[in-house]
Structure 1
Amino acid sequence: MKLEEKIQSLTKEVLSSPKKANKIRDLIDLSEKSLNDAKKAFTCLKAFYRVYSSILKSEQLSSNSKLTGEKAKIYKDWMVESLTNWRSIILKYVKFPNLHERLFKRLLLLMVLEENKPLYTTQGYFTNSFLKEIILSLLAVDIPMDTGLQTLQEYLKYADIRFQCLKYLFELMEEVAATIKSLDSEGVTFLTNCYTLLNLITAEHSQNKEDIESSLKFNLSANTKGNINYLQLGKHSSLLSKTWLQLLKFKLPNAIYKQVLVDIPDKIIPKLPEPLGLADFLTNSFNVGGVISLLALHGLFMLIHKHNLNYPSFFEKVYELIRIEILNVKYKSRFFFLLNLFLSSTHLPAYVVAAFIKKLARLALRADCCDGQLLLNLIYVLLIRHVSCKCLLHNEDAKSFETDPFKDDEKDLLNCGALNSSLWELRTLECHWNPKVAQIALQARKPLPSLEPDFLPSLDIDSESVFDSEKKRKYKDIHLTVFKPENLFGGEDDHCKKIFKSYD
């Protein structure tokens, strides 16, 4: 008899009568033997779902069961133990990626069914241990669990399930904190799965008490409503904050580290009751340097600007990031968008803004035509916004590099000499080979407008847009005394063409 037929036969026997319950042991043995075969595992999964759901629906093991007496108690205890063992084996099928969706859909359906028709005496509120086992299997496996986590996401809209998921996630991370010391493949996968699940929970997190009370999956008994953690908004927010901080204690994989820094300003800070708890993480990240410092900027600025974080050397640290390397990173546009935001306050000291303007002007001398346009536009925006810095356009004492008092390598903004300098760099850029850059640089010779232009379009300037604009330009025909070429090489007598042909 084939395995599938044998499993189907045993399943029918178990479901036919409680007297055949001992056949469950055979099904458990077959399930254990199928741990290395995905096809056989799926057959066992279907059998498990049929048996488990049928027993739950029949309520033969619950406290309300018609089965009574000493023998009935022995039967119930044995059946509960057998089903629990079978469940633990089925959860090991998480090792088969192609089974994830079907596996977790069935497990979550059984979890809901078990809560409504429990194997054990009900406590009147949701504390399902089945869900904890599902969470453990999702996170502890050494392969990415995107499909399984997406399946779980359908249940995260319910406040009670969401709270318990968060609780189990926090407990698990606390347990493994001491064991994950190096980022081996297993540790990377675990932290990636933790981050994905926490991100899903954070996205569904509500800051409204009414939303929580109206989004419960399971009914509460009347005498428990006042004592349930997941009915209290403060408990939800506090647990979410603790779980994020627990995750950030780990040495995160580089990709997750960067993504967390990107998510903090818009997705994480608004959901936390005390965002200042992120201060140490963001400060340490800001001190790392390179791209990590760049990505930590926005979150750190939000803590300073909206949550009164004291960070005296913030502008000095940002100033140090303005180097030629910043023009070659993936997050260049993000940096200059934030820089414009940081320098938006008209209450900033003139020497601070002047130092940034000079630093940007020096950088523009070395930038390509795309970045040159970006930097020049930002310089003009800052000059219009901060009127006290217009003296840089009219200072006659520092017309060249030799007479410029500005110290490019000075880290102290007060002592770098920017306010005593001039923007001779703009005069230099008037001779730039790219006409667009030269045209923007020439604007310094005209009176600046009173209203600052929109800087955001400048962030979209790249080599592709420059090439597209050049292709659309209409050129005047110029009369030449030589034959005008139509392509890269000329006719048959073209020497360059002959040279290239010789290498064919």
Structure 2
Amino acid sequence: MPKAASAERLKRKRSSSTHEKSTTERRKRASSTSSNESEDASAKILSMEEGILESRKNYNDLTILLSTANDFKNGGQESMLSTVVLCRIFIRLLTQGSLIAKKSLSEKDLFIVGWLKERFAEFKKILVTILQDEELATPALTLCMKTLKAEGEFLYDKDEYTFPRAFLREIVSSLFESENEDVIKAYVEEYVEQYDDIRYFTFNAVKHIVEKQEGNASPELFDRCFALLSALDGVPESADQLEDFFVPKPKKKTHNLRNVNQHKKQAQEAWLSLMTLVEEKDQRKQILNVISTVIAPWFTKPELLSDFLTNCYDSGGSMSLLALSGVFYLISERNLDYPSFYTKLYSLLDRDILHSKHRSRFFRLLDTFLASTHLPAAMVASFIKRLARLALNAPPGAIVFVTPWIYNLLKRHPTCTFMIHREVQDPEVKKQIEEHGVDDPFLSEETDPMQTDAIESCLWELVQLQSHYHPNVATITKIISEQFTKQSYNIEDFLDHSYATLLEAEMTKDVKKAPVIEFHIPKKVFTPNDGEADAEPDSLLVRLWDFGN
């Protein structure tokens, strides 16, 4: 019996081993068959390419290749190979002039040319559709641009410059709809920033796409248009800089493509069209963040930005802070008439400004706005007094900026130094002030900086800050009470301080002299006790009870 059981187990083991081997062999054969089929399909596609390029009789194979390429969702490698092959075929046909309807051609040849053009248009539609696919977007972009270059170079009459702008619009439109967001970045870096004609017609394409979607646009369209346009900050200054062309440049020097102002005009129209899509607060902030550095340099008529900027500036809050640089740019560079600019600027100095995350940016701009020595002393005094008053409740990181900034303004506007040193000549008035004090003439609720009477006041707030709990604040505020020997302070050294930076500065400071500490360690925290044996026990509760009675 044991021998029979052992033989049975051995038989089952051999049977199982044989089954596993047969399964593995079937899988190998299936894999080999699949691989062979793939190789056969690829070889067939390449064979079609050779046949089409050798003879017009094989042009019908274009429809097979187009069908395979269009099935890119399910077609795998064969679909992408068909797309690449079609790109090579059409570039060769374009180079040979096979898609140009010449007058010397027969009716039959003209029919073939028309048919090829239809297939070429179909191929371009497939390309821009593939461009929306997340995985295939990058190679599809390369094929699109190669096709566009060949079309612009060989499809049209060489005597007249013609750029395939319709195809480029389709490409840009598909980029905005693509699931692969990195493909827009690749398009900008590899083509738009490198070639002047691509940049010119991309601006034109953005304008037409936005106008077409007006009233029906999605938030994603704004985000992707903004990502593309905001990356283009290299503004050409002269026609000599327009020398890099993807498609051969026009021969006429008077052509719009060789005119700097026309390039700026296209950018201007693209940005203005994008601004029509702005509906949300965050979108406004995105534009305001780049308006003076990226957008305004493209505008031949920056005054067209005035409505957008003044609306943002008048809206108040952080929006006003962000709009400041743009409004000031228009005032200083384009003579924008905005008589209430400084009144609005003064209104931004509220109790929140010294706590705002935009504090550093705002004060950099404020320092620029008040840099002119031609400003009225009464207005400058109002800004000085307002900030000194706000500094009483400000964090230390903000106060260490306010004092040097006031110092610089006092040096720049000597008339305002009466606010820190005004001698009272009348002895009776002086005695009355010493006995009863004086009311501050500064009108803190006045909105017009010319009417606050700040010039008649004094900076007692800075004297109070000289007793601030933070030693850095107390020390730097004392510069107002000393001789003004320093020409000015570099504001950048004080702008970005916070609790963290002040603490770090203290922690890393070299200790020149050890601090004094207690020699005897007390045994009690709240009550004195010398620890002697005959001393009466001390009780905090008893002492508090006695105090109450």
TM-score class normalised by the smaller sequence: 0.7 to 0.9
Distance 2:488 2:253 in 1: 56
**Equivalent residue number for residue 10 of structure 1:** 45
Distance 2:416 2:46 in 1: 83
**Equivalent residue number for residue 95 of structure 1:** 132
Matched residue of 1:98: which SS?
A: coil
Post-superposition offset of 1:356: 0.7
Matched residue of 1:97: which SS?
A: coil
The reply on whether 1:295 has 2:322 as its aligned counterpart is yes
**Equivalent residue number for residue 177 of structure 1:** 214
Q: Note if contact 1:304-1:311 (Cα within 8 Å) is conserved in structure 2.
A: yes
Please say which of residues 358-367 and 129-138 is displaced more in the overlay.
129-138
Post-superposition offset of 1:51: 3.2
Post-superposition offset of 1:326: 2.1
**Equivalent residue number for residue 245 of structure 2:** 216
Distance 2:456 2:272 in 1: 46
Among 395, 400, 411, the residue aligned to 1:373: 400
Distance 1:69 1:309 in 2: 64
Distance 1:167 1:60 in 2: 30
**Equivalent residue number for residue 529 of structure 2:** none
Q: Please, which runs of 5 or more residues in structure 1 have no aligned partner?
A: 181-186, 485-504
From the superposition, tell whether residues 38 and 148 of structure 1 become closer, same or farther in structure 2 (CA, over 3 Å).
Answer: farther
Distance 1:350 1:38 in 2: 75
Cα deviation 1:90-141 (Å, max 9, x = unaligned): 21123323333222122112211222222x55562132132232122223x1
Post-superposition offset of 1:150: 2.9
Distance 2:71 2:438 in 1: 82
From the superposition, tell whether residues 48 and 322 of structure 1 become closer, same or farther in structure 2 (CA, over 3 Å).
Answer: farther
Among 233, 237, 252, the residue aligned to 1:207: 237
Q: Note if contact 1:59-1:65 (Cα within 8 Å) is conserved in structure 2.
A: no
Cα deviation 1:387-444 (Å, max 9, x = unaligned): 1111111357899998222232321223323122211111111111111100112222
From the superposition, tell whether residues 85 and 343 of structure 1 become closer, same or farther in structure 2 (CA, over 3 Å).
Answer: same
From the superposition, tell whether residues 30 and 442 of structure 1 become closer, same or farther in structure 2 (CA, over 3 Å).
Answer: same
Cα deviation 1:35-86 (Å, max 9, x = unaligned): 47887764454344333334334433335799x4322222221122122112
From the superposition, tell whether residues 221 and 329 of structure 1 become closer, same or farther in structure 2 (CA, over 3 Å).
Answer: closer
The reply on whether 1:478 has 2:513 as its aligned counterpart is no
Distance 1:353 1:302 in 2: 20
Amino acid at match of 2:392: L
**Equivalent residue number for residue 409 of structure 1:** 445
Distance 2:493 2:361 in 1: 13
Distance 1:33 1:454 in 2: 65
TM-score by length of 1: 0.84
Structure 2 matches for 1:33-72, cutoff 5 A?
33-35=71-73, 42-63=80-101, 68-72=105-109
| 4+ residue runs over 6 A deviation | 36-40, 396-402
Amino acid at match of 1:23: D
Post-superposition offset of 1:166: 1.9
Distance 2:445 2:259 in 1: 54
Q: What is the count of residue pairs matched by the alignment? A: 471
Matched residue of 1:112: which SS?
A: helix
The reply on whether 1:330 has 2:370 as its aligned counterpart is no
Distance 1:330 1:4 in 2: 62
The reply on whether 1:232 has 2:259 as its aligned counterpart is yes
**Equivalent residue number for residue 202 of structure 2:** 165
**Equivalent residue number for residue 221 of structure 2:** 190
From the superposition, tell whether residues 108 and 290 of structure 1 become closer, same or farther in structure 2 (CA, over 3 Å).
Answer: same
Please say which of residues 91-100 and 371-380 is displaced more in the overlay.
91-100
Amino acid at match of 2:400: Q
**Equivalent residue number for residue 491 of structure 2:** 455
**Equivalent residue number for residue 130 of structure 1:** 167
Q: Please, which runs of 5 or more residues in structure 2 have no aligned partner?
A: 1-33, 425-429, 523-549
**Equivalent residue number for residue 499 of structure 1:** none
Distance 1:401 1:74 in 2: 102
The reply on whether 1:113 has 2:144 as its aligned counterpart is no
From the superposition, tell whether residues 401 and 379 of structure 1 become closer, same or farther in structure 2 (CA, over 3 Å).
Answer: farther
How high is the sequence identity, in percent, across the aligned residues? 28
Distance 2:386 2:274 in 1: 37
Amino acid at match of 2:167: F
**Equivalent residue number for residue 86 of structure 1:** 123
**Equivalent residue number for residue 385 of structure 1:** 412
From the superposition, tell whether residues 193 and 4 of structure 1 become closer, same or farther in structure 2 (CA, over 3 Å).
Answer: farther
**Equivalent residue number for residue 23 of structure 1:** 61
The reply on whether 1:319 has 2:319 as its aligned counterpart is no
Cα deviation 1:439-489 (Å, max 9, x = unaligned): 1122222122362222221113233321221012315232314559xxxxx
Distance 2:39 2:357 in 1: 53
Q: Note if contact 1:351-1:419 (Cα within 8 Å) is conserved in structure 2.
A: yes
Cα deviation 1:240-285 (Å, max 9, x = unaligned): 2222222222215555532322222233323322211111111111
TM-score by length of 2: 0.78
Cα deviation 1:147-172 (Å, max 9, x = unaligned): 33433443333333322222222222
Post-superposition offset of 1:352: 0.9
Distance 1:401 1:32 in 2: 89
Q: RMSD of the alignment, in Å?
A: 2.9
